[in-house]
């Protein structure tokens, strides 16, 4: 998997560059032919600290993360990378704005924290990040 980081901050770029290989390896997606663009942007912080958007025609994903404390950004990146894994594996699919988990359609009325893809991402984010920074 290839990735690019867009930020003006050298500090953020170095930090994310350092943890991404571990996150990809832990999630078993390092050998994927997909591309991930990681953008550090204040726009990500409106309702949440991060988001992931699939660009299927480009075999790519865009992760947007709000700038802040390094540890918060690392946990958010780990969370979003779980979503990338879900999308790569096909466990999570989005078609015409509708989300499918393991083939089951989910209504937009299902609460955020009740969705299985978010439950998995929240369950894994801290341990993924801790392992990524464990030297």
CATH classification of the domain holding 59:
3.40.390
> How far is 109 from 127, CA to CA, in rounded Å?
29
Report the predicted TM-score, pTM, of the whole model to 2 decimal places. 0.93
Instruction: Read off the pLDDT of residues 98-115 as tens digits, 9 standing for 90 and up.
Output: 999 999 999 889 999 999
Number of domains in the chain: 1
Taking all residues of the chain, what is their mean pLDDT, rounded to a whole number? 93
Q: What is the pLDDT of residue 45?
A: 55
* H or E segment to which residue 2 belongs: strand 2-6
Instruction: Read off the pLDDT of residues 58-67 as tens digits, 9 standing for 90 and up.
Output: 999 999 999 9
Instruction: Read off the pLDDT of residues 8-56 as tens digits, 9 standing for 90 and up.
Output: 999 999 999 999 999 999 999 999 999 999 999 887 655 678 999 999 8
Using alpha carbons, list the distances in angstroms from residue 6 to 10, 51, 64, 67, 130.
10, 15, 9, 12, 23
What's the domain range around 82?
A: 2-133
């Amino acid at each position: 998997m290839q990735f690019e980081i867009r930020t003006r901050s050298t500090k953020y770029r170095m930090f994310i560059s350092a943890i991404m290989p571990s996150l990809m390896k832990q999630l078993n997606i390092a050998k994927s032919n997909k591309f991930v663009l990681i953008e550090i942007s204040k726009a990500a912080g409106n309702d949440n600290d991060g988001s992931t958007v699939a660009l299927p025609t480009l075999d790519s994903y865009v992760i947007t993360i709000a700038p802040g404390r390094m540890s918060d950004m690392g946990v958010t990146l780990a969370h979003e990378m779980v979503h990338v894994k879900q999308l790569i594996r096909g466990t999570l699919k989005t078609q015409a704005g509708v989300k499918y988990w393991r083939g089951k359609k989910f209504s937009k009325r299902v609460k955020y924290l009740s969705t299985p893809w978010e439950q998995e991402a929240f369950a894994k984010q801290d341990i993924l990040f801790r392992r990524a920074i464990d030297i």
